[in-house]
Chains A and B, each alone.
Chain A
Amino acid sequence: MKLPILSRKEIANGIFEMSLGIENRGFSFLAGQYIRLVLPTLVKEDTNGSARLFSIASSPNDKKKIDIIFRASQSGYKETLLTITPGSEVEVEGPWGTFVLPKKNKKELIFIAGGTGISPFLSMLRFASEEGLQIDVLLLYACRSKEDSIYHRELEKLQKKIPTFRFIHTFAKINKEFIKSSLQIVNGFNYYISGPSSMIDATIIILNKLGVIMESIYFEEWSELSFRHILGKLFNDHPSGIAATDLHGYLRYVNKSWEHLTGWSSQEVIGIRTPRILKSEKMESQFYTEMWNGTLKGSTIRKEMIDKRKDNTIYYSDEIFLPIKNLSGGIFGHLSFQNDITERKHLEKKVSGYTKNLEVLVAEKTNELKVKIDDAEMSAKALLNLAEDLEFEKIKTVREKTKLETFFENIDQGIFVVDKDSKIKFINKEAARLLGLNELNDMNKKFFDLWDVKNADGTILKPGERPISRVIETGKKIQSNEYTYCRKNDGKKFPVNIIAAPLTIVDSSERVIVLFRDITEEKKIDKAKSEFVSLASHQLRTPLSTINWYSEVLLNGDVGKLKKEQEKYVETVYHASKRMGDLVNALLNVSRLELGTFTVKPEETDVRALLKSTLAEHKQQIELKSIQCTTRLSKIPLMMIDQKLLHMVFQNIINNAVKYTPIKGRIVIKLAIQKKDLLLRIQDNGCGIPTEQQDQVFTKLFRADNARKIDPDGTGLGLYIAKSILDRVGGKIWFESEKNKGTTFFVILPIVGMRKKKGLKNLI
């Protein structure tokens, strides 16, 4: 976001202050926290890049502005900042930092700062002085040179304003004697340390030796931009919801899946405590305490939880909590992985509901056919049980792969870093194990001298096609599970899921970080599952065929004319069986959608004609209900479309509109080009979707309460299928709806059409 600069002034020799307007833009800052200022013009001139962290001096909650102080240096960054005039805008990201001044200060604070690490403390002290807060703070400050001592004047001023603040400085490094001589006793305080990481590590060791426990030491691991940057590179597109918190439980990083899962954006939650956001009434507070204490002791905890989204809806989640350790083994934060298992839970419930209904109906109607229905039910259960088992196996495999013990070294995914000549610059234990390399001896060897990368069709990638080369060339991240690693000397190979991303923060040279894992098992399971679903659905259909054909023969009077009442009963059986057939087809489609294995075969298509023919399929019902159907369909140039898939999307939406529009109701269909998209709009004046259920409309097997009353037989899969298809082909679907007034569905597809995708199976 961009914020205007309100004022700029020099407050002490070499220390500047800048005020940024905050207005009501959704930031929530506390004094002492960090933000990142981005000056895009500096990318080339400044070797450190265009972004810097600065700590905030004042709380914007009251003032709607933030004061940032920074120290003059010789960098191009300072020059640029100084030429920016009030009124212009800079980009701001954040908040990032961890040093938040405790509101109720039970213990006296000891700040220990080295060099420019003074900055966050200075910010907090300035804030305290402006707000007239009396905080008991002792600052131990180590600065090497006179240059750093330009802070002294500022610190002395603050000492006068805040009588309870004292500072002691040394020109040497922080050492045991300095701490001991500055403090009478060492326990009973909270220690905050800020400075270069070597200084932080050394100070922690000293404090530990003096008998200070880890729980009362706070230090700034998270301010390191690189750490957060790397978390982002590794986990932004990870399928699990991943969040990292500091020791106090304040969120410091969340990935996209987490945002998607919880409904919160990272901007809204960074700096807020996790339980405050996610805790539902169904979880006991005690659990959080136990979890917290467990991870503090270094344990990994896995638990099925019931969490709350931003909109207060509840979801089931399978979560793993792990401590994050620094090199000296100290825990400085937590990482959590969570997967939404709500749908699985719902699916179990709903499907058992379906089979039960069918059971009751059949039992009432006919004994002769009951045997066959039981067969069908058995197969359905077997299908679901096996699918479930396989799903569980898959999750387990993925979980085991993502389990972290210590951060990089022991992470259970292969990670390596190469330079632009593919020379290996870093390799973790798992990568070394998978690739059969030695973490020491094979350093600096060229990756492609040892391993080939193969395409899905088994051809070896040429140098320019390799993911690493493409990352260097485009500067963009690549994620794929289509490649296979193949060792040159003995041909050992395994399919991989890889994420390769540019890594520019180590130094200015081009490097690529690769995160990969062996997905042999997952591929096997996917294939087995796909084949199983195909065969199981065959088995499921066979008894249904018998029911259908026998009912037809009975109804036709081929084996003797039925009485009217008998005819009615057999018809009911026939329709129930047809419905079961539809459900089998829909479930089969769903399982393929979920495997992501369906083929997309685009061909030149007249979308308007396709829409018209889909509409014609519904002509009979539209006339039967005397629905007034208006169409405004613009002529659309030929587009590359998989007709079967788009037909399914059209069919599901039109079918819903017709189904839920009352007799003599109205449907308006509009097809047009809007900017670079094809836009379809289908408006009805039907029963609408209840507001409180609108967020579940695209959920598998979901049926709104009022929809269920109008048509008890729907599968609850149509919109889920439509959305899954559109997701895969780059389209979008959404709706606006008001209960009892009607619903309007919108579908968007880029004019460029669908891209061809290979898959294992076609949808039906």
Chain B
Amino acid sequence: MNEKKILVIEDEQTLANVLEFKLSHEGYIVKSVNNGVTALEVLAEEKFDLILLDLIMPIMDGFQVLEELKQRKISTPVIVLTNLNQAEDKKRVMAFGVKGFFIKTNISVFEIVDHAKRLLA
């Protein structure tokens, strides 16, 4: 089992689909969930190599997920993908030591895949 595993936490199904599609194409095993609570349940059972995390989600948002990961000492690298465009949101997220912060409308899906590849190489 040499394949790397990626967890996509994204409530917008169309976006999750295209990420899953592109990353699978690159040979990764991709699982996607649509809220923070489910994500934490999955993370409790499985180990992943990379997390792609949305910020604004129902039930539990991305900020809370980052807080929980910190508390549970889960050190999987995280890339935040969001459409929140405020400097203070970025600052708050970067403080958790995430490996990337991207505005979804400003970045192409290929750049995200490249970034993930670099992190997993």
A interface secondary structure, majority: helix
- Residue B87 at the chain A interface, CB threshold 8 Å: yes
- In the complex, the answer to whether A553 meets B105 with C-beta atoms within 8 Å is no
Bound form: Cα–Cα A762–B15 in Å: 27
- In the complex, the answer to whether B104 meets A542 with C-beta atoms within 8 Å is yes
The residues of A that contact B25 with a CB separation of less than 8 Å are: 558
The residues of B that contact A549 with a CB separation of less than 8 Å are: 15, 18, 104, 108-109
**Which residue among B14, B21, B82, B103 has the maximum number of chain A CB atoms within 10 Å of its CB?**
B14
- Residue A299 at the chain B interface, CB threshold 8 Å: no
The residues of B that contact A548 with a CB separation of less than 8 Å are: 104-105, 108-109
- In the complex, the answer to whether A581 meets B110 with C-beta atoms within 8 Å is no
- In the complex, the answer to whether A534 meets B110 with C-beta atoms within 8 Å is no
**Which residue among B12, B21, B104 has the maximum number of chain A CB atoms within 10 Å of its CB?**
B104
- In the complex, the answer to whether B86 meets A541 with C-beta atoms within 8 Å is no
Q: A541-B105, A545-B104 are in contact. Are A764 and B14 (CB under 8 A)?
A: no
- In the complex, the answer to whether B85 meets A588 with C-beta atoms within 8 Å is yes
The residues of A that contact B109 with a CB separation of less than 8 Å are: 548-549, 552-553
- In the complex, the answer to whether A762 meets B87 with C-beta atoms within 8 Å is yes
Within residues 52 to 98 of chain B, which ones have a CB less than 8 A from any CB in chain A? 56, 82-88
- In the complex, the answer to whether A544 meets B108 with C-beta atoms within 8 Å is no
The residues of A that contact B82 with a CB separation of less than 8 Å are: 538
The residues of A that contact B83 with a CB separation of less than 8 Å are: 537-538, 541-542, 545
Number of chain B residues close to chain A: CB under 8 A? 22
Q: Which of A534, A546, A581, A584 contacts B84 (CB 8 A)?
A: A534
Chain B, residue nearest A584 (CB): B105
The smallest beta-carbon distance between A593 and chain B, in angstroms, is 15
The residues of A that contact B104 with a CB separation of less than 8 Å are: 541-542, 545, 548-549
Bound form: Cα–Cα A673–B61 in Å: 51
Bound form: Cα–Cα A585–B85 in Å: 9
The smallest beta-carbon distance between B113 and chain A, in angstroms, is 10
- In the complex, the answer to whether A546 meets B15 with C-beta atoms within 8 Å is yes
- Residue A761 at the chain B interface, CB threshold 8 Å: yes
Bound form: Cα–Cα A474–B64 in Å: 51
Bound form: Cα–Cα A73–B25 in Å: 100
Chain B, residue nearest A577 (CB): B105
Q: Which of A553, A584, A588, A761 contacts B21 (CB 8 A)?
A: A553
Q: Which of B12, B22, B56 contacts A558 (CB 8 A)?
A: B22
- Residue B106 at the chain A interface, CB threshold 8 Å: yes
- In the complex, the answer to whether B22 meets A538 with C-beta atoms within 8 Å is no
The smallest beta-carbon distance between A140 and chain B, in angstroms, is 73
- In the complex, the answer to whether A538 meets B56 with C-beta atoms within 8 Å is yes
Bound form: Cα–Cα A549–B88 in Å: 26
Residue interface bits B21-54, CB-to-A below 8 A is 1, else 0:
1100100000000000000000000000000000
The smallest beta-carbon distance between A577 and chain B, in angstroms, is 8
The smallest beta-carbon distance between B27 and chain A, in angstroms, is 14
Bound form: Cα–Cα A535–B61 in Å: 14
Q: Which of A552, A553, A764 contacts B85 (CB 8 A)?
A: A764
Bound form: Cα–Cα A584–B85 in Å: 11
**Which residue among B18, B85, B105, B106 has the maximum number of chain A CB atoms within 10 Å of its CB?**
B105
Residue interface bits A544-565, CB-to-B below 8 A is 1, else 0:
1110111011001010000000
**Which residue among A535, A544, A546, A761 has the maximum number of chain B CB atoms within 10 Å of its CB?**
A546
- In the complex, the answer to whether B108 meets A546 with C-beta atoms within 8 Å is no
**Which residue among B83, B84, B103 has the maximum number of chain A CB atoms within 10 Å of its CB?**
B83
Bound form: Cα–Cα A761–B89 in Å: 11
Within residues 177 to 207 of chain A, which ones have a CB less than 8 A from any CB in chain B? none
- In the complex, the answer to whether B12 meets A553 with C-beta atoms within 8 Å is no
The residues of B that contact A762 with a CB separation of less than 8 Å are: 86-88
Bound form: Cα–Cα A556–B21 in Å: 13
The residues of B that contact A542 with a CB separation of less than 8 Å are: 12, 15, 83, 104
- In the complex, the answer to whether B105 meets A534 with C-beta atoms within 8 Å is no
Chain A, residue nearest B111 (CB): A552
The smallest beta-carbon distance between B85 and chain A, in angstroms, is 6
Bound form: Cα–Cα A171–B75 in Å: 101
- In the complex, the answer to whether A761 meets B22 with C-beta atoms within 8 Å is no
Chain B, residue nearest A550 (CB): B18
- In the complex, the answer to whether A553 meets B14 with C-beta atoms within 8 Å is no
The residues of A that contact B15 with a CB separation of less than 8 Å are: 542, 545-546, 549
Bound form: Cα–Cα A549–B14 in Å: 9
Bound form: Cα–Cα A542–B14 in Å: 10
Q: Which of A534, A550, A558 contacts B86 (CB 8 A)?
A: A534
- In the complex, the answer to whether B108 meets A552 with C-beta atoms within 8 Å is yes
Chain A, residue nearest B18 (CB): A549
- In the complex, the answer to whether A552 meets B110 with C-beta atoms within 8 Å is yes
- In the complex, the answer to whether B21 meets A558 with C-beta atoms within 8 Å is yes
The residues of B that contact A588 with a CB separation of less than 8 Å are: 85
- In the complex, the answer to whether B106 meets A581 with C-beta atoms within 8 Å is yes
Bound form: Cα–Cα A556–B113 in Å: 14
- In the complex, the answer to whether B14 meets A546 with C-beta atoms within 8 Å is yes
Residue interface bits A96-134, CB-to-B below 8 A is 1, else 0:
000000000000000000000000000000000000000
Bound form: Cα–Cα A534–B82 in Å: 13
- In the complex, the answer to whether A537 meets B18 with C-beta atoms within 8 Å is no
Bound form: Cα–Cα A493–B83 in Å: 38
- In the complex, the answer to whether B14 meets A581 with C-beta atoms within 8 Å is no
- In the complex, the answer to whether B84 meets A538 with C-beta atoms within 8 Å is yes
The residues of B that contact A372 with a CB separation of less than 8 Å are: 14
- In the complex, the answer to whether A544 meets B87 with C-beta atoms within 8 Å is no
Chain B, residue nearest A548 (CB): B105
The residues of B that contact A553 with a CB separation of less than 8 Å are: 18, 21-22, 109
Residue interface bits A580-607, CB-to-B below 8 A is 1, else 0:
0100110010000000000000000000
Bound form: Cα–Cα A739–B85 in Å: 39
Q: A542-B83, A762-B87 are in contact. Are A556 and B110 (CB under 8 A)?
A: yes
The residues of B that contact A535 with a CB separation of less than 8 Å are: 56
The smallest beta-carbon distance between A547 and chain B, in angstroms, is 9
**Which residue among A537, A549, A552 has the maximum number of chain B CB atoms within 10 Å of its CB?**
A549
- In the complex, the answer to whether B105 meets A545 with C-beta atoms within 8 Å is yes
The smallest beta-carbon distance between A373 and chain B, in angstroms, is 13
Bound form: Cα–Cα A80–B43 in Å: 91
Chain A, residue nearest B56 (CB): A538
- In the complex, the answer to whether B86 meets A761 with C-beta atoms within 8 Å is yes
Chain B, residue nearest A580 (CB): B105
The residues of A that contact B106 with a CB separation of less than 8 Å are: 581
Within residues 517 to 545 of chain A, which ones have a CB less than 8 A from any CB in chain B? 534-535, 537-538, 541-542, 544-545
Bound form: Cα–Cα A67–B106 in Å: 71
Bound form: Cα–Cα A548–B18 in Å: 11
Bound form: Cα–Cα A305–B11 in Å: 49
The residues of B that contact A541 with a CB separation of less than 8 Å are: 83, 85, 103-105
Chain A, residue nearest B85 (CB): A764
**Which residue among A534, A537, A541 has the maximum number of chain B CB atoms within 10 Å of its CB?**
A541
Bound form: Cα–Cα A542–B103 in Å: 10
Bound form: Cα–Cα A553–B24 in Å: 13
Chain B, residue nearest A581 (CB): B105
Chain B, residue nearest A556 (CB): B110
The smallest beta-carbon distance between A702 and chain B, in angstroms, is 25
Bound form: Cα–Cα A588–B103 in Å: 15
30 contacts between A and B (CB under 8 A): A534-B84, A534-B85, A534-B86, A535-B56, A538-B56, A538-B85, A541-B104, A541-B105, A542-B12, A545-B12, A545-B15, A545-B83, A545-B105, A546-B12, A546-B15, A548-B105, A548-B108, A548-B109, A549-B18, A549-B104, A553-B18, A553-B21, A556-B110, A558-B21, A558-B25, A585-B85, A588-B85, A761-B86, A762-B88, A764-B85
Instruction: Sort A-B residue pairs by CB-CB distance and give the 7 closest, nearest first.
Output: A541-B83, A545-B104, A762-B87, A549-B109, A581-B105, A546-B14, A541-B105
Q: A541-B105, A545-B15, A761-B86 known; 9 other A-B pairs, CB under 8 Å?
A: A534-B86, A537-B83, A538-B85, A548-B104, A549-B108, A550-B14, A761-B88, A762-B86, A764-B85
